[in-house]
Structure 1
């Protein structure tokens, strides 16, 4: 259903707009301040993730900021997995660097597009006026101007969140997903496509039960990552899941408050992961058939913090261009989604088990090859 605000009319107007806005001295000061703050917070995955959370705590009506915080946590965990327990055995050095740069570029791009929008909203609240006319100064798609104008009038947090999900996925579509460099090194590779078979594309959302203070997880798994429509649908389903149970949402917020993001999976499962290596690399060992059932006497899986895994990256400026060029593109705002159960623990533990067996198989093959080479000598 479309809201009563004449959005379709405004979208048509945005498509035809060829205006080059002129900014006042006050406008230029705001633009400069926001640009500086965005660059400062866009240093790495940890600073971005914290910035989303800090914004949400001040402006909880902007649901997208909490969703972005949680998804960004997952991006950080995947980045550190590349230096963690399993993936260094399955990917060579170049593959891991390529995959990290792919994840980092997407994380960086979304932040540098979305965070100025959030800061403009924050500044507008202080000044009690709309600052949507400044969106073009940050290269934000013309699609978002009617959206923010509608939000200023309606306060419709759900609609704004869905629009931001759509905008950010469209924003990275040509810049990352369909970028020829990343297609060649990441998205078109067999290893990337293997992720669907291994169910590696989990988004995990931790929360803490108030009575027992136990760690729990729910979440969703994205398939067909290369499809922008599927990613938008996934984002909307994840948002629906996050806000579907009010008591659980409060528990998610409580967990996030007490567990600052480091990039290590120890953040949400210290009984299973440690940011200090306990198992000897390349040690011959049988895989754990039930890895999530680890007892206190077993060594934990290595999951380093981001600061230990990767240094800050220098990014080239975002490619110019506006993805919004046809009215048909707005169909994802109102497209159908499927209700999700959120039950992800069994699937996630199955993924860890598959990784354990994959590492065991590769190490076994390597040992046989080494033994064969020695016999030849």
Structure 2
């Protein structure tokens, strides 16, 4: 370790200790009876505008994903905005997969809808929690004034209030990004992952267990390797092995952050691809030669293998992957459940816990997952025909 790296690590560890001390000193994380009417008129206007913009961009996965990207381009110091954008793209692809050529052949219409509502609720919840934080930061920058005392009026965890205040003073981009990963995954824990409705309709079903078994839960970041836009985008990313584990989701977030920001060349290549391909929800966004937004197969056609090593077999139609707007209607969500998830300062350990660096190698795993799911579709059809 060089002297420079050693000093940088010491400064980071000091920051973590300062945040831990702040969180320990909080006696009443969320005071009851907070009302926007208590605030000066100018701050009431800020809160109202933040709510309006959040509702505007929280219509569906496509609008949310674009909002994250637009924010990052305006404020590249907020690393999580790009991470959120790329992960949200994957969320949209997972949603449309349910109506595409593959999963629609394995899951019933009811299972497809339940799975979609599960994914959509999580995507919606994260946005309505994190986007107001981003907008408040943006307003703070415009006014050159710390406005994070308004976070409780936006129902944001005291954990993030402490971290945002620290960021305003010290500007540690990594620390803020990791804190946001911790916050958003913790925020989902009771509201989605361990919510009785979603456990019954999704997480405890055979369909979800099959999805997990197939390792079809890869998070992929398409990018133009070395800026070569004339070639097929390469993939980099990682895999979530156990969705139900808060620890696994946080550690995956840290690994994905490292993939995005550890190498400037990789970041540049991902941004180049993302800037040229607005998110639609269709996997044709990144591989047009393998996926298509229009179904090229005739209705009732028996499914035959179409891929080999992520290349389309000669003469085979492309895999149908619809844009989100054609796959699913927008959802009117019930309000987010109130309450602050933060109740244990030991969560600070995630700031310093080392993640295993996978190097982002995902291409082979992703290709094998597609081939595996094709074989299961064919086997299922063969079994059905024998039963007839």
Superposition TM-score tier, normalisation by shorter sequence: over 0.9
Match in the other structure for 2:130: 114
Please report the TM-score for the alignment, with normalisation by the length of structure 2.
0.92
Match in the other structure for 1:151: 167
Match in the other structure for 1:213: 230
Instruction: State how many pairs are aligned.
Output: 370
Match in the other structure for 2:316: 298
Structure-to-structure mapping, 1:137-148, within 5 angstroms: 137-148=153-164
SS for the counterpart of 1:2 is: helix
Does the Cα contact within 8 Å between 2:30 and 2:340 map onto a contact in 1? no
The offset of 1:233, in angstroms, is 0.7
CA RMSD of aligned residues (A): 1.5
Q: Which 5+ residue runs of structure 2 have no aligned equivalent?
A: 1-11
Measured at CA, do residues 116 and 68 of structure 1 come closer, stay the same or move farther in structure 2, by a change above 3 Å? Answer: same
Measured at CA, do residues 295 and 206 of structure 1 come closer, stay the same or move farther in structure 2, by a change above 3 Å? Answer: same
Task: Give the one of 195, 202, 208 matched to 1:192.
Answer: 208
Please report the TM-score for the alignment, with normalisation by the length of structure 1.
0.95
The offset of 1:113, in angstroms, is 0.1
Is 1:125 the counterpart of 2:141? The answer is yes
Q: Which 5+ residue runs of structure 1 have no aligned equivalent?
A: 371-377
Structure-to-structure mapping, 1:21-60, within 5 angstroms: 22-60=38-76
Does the Cα contact within 8 Å between 1:15 and 1:324 map onto a contact in 2? no
SS for the counterpart of 2:238 is: strand
Paired with 2:63 and 2:169, the residues of 1 have a C-alpha distance of 32
Q: Deviations over 1:223-251 (max 9, x none)?
A: 11100011001100110111122111101
SS for the counterpart of 2:151 is: helix
Q: Deviations over 1:252-295 (max 9, x none)?
A: 10111110000000000001000010123442243246162215
The offset of 1:369, in angstroms, is 2.6
Match in the other structure for 1:277: 295
Task: Give the one of 9, 13, 19 matched to 1:2.
Answer: 13
Measured at CA, do residues 15 and 84 of structure 1 come closer, stay the same or move farther in structure 2, by a change above 3 Å? Answer: farther
Paired with 1:316 and 1:333, the residues of 2 have a C-alpha distance of 33
The offset of 1:18, in angstroms, is 5.2
The offset of 1:24, in angstroms, is 1.2
Match in the other structure for 1:331: 349
Task: Give the one of 77, 80, 87 matched to 2:93.
Answer: 77
Match in the other structure for 1:181: 197
Paired with 1:18 and 1:288, the residues of 2 have a C-alpha distance of 54
Is 1:311 the counterpart of 2:323? The answer is no
Paired with 1:285 and 1:77, the residues of 2 have a C-alpha distance of 21
Does the Cα contact within 8 Å between 2:306 and 2:317 map onto a contact in 1? no
Paired with 1:71 and 1:77, the residues of 2 have a C-alpha distance of 10
Is 1:14 the counterpart of 2:20? The answer is no
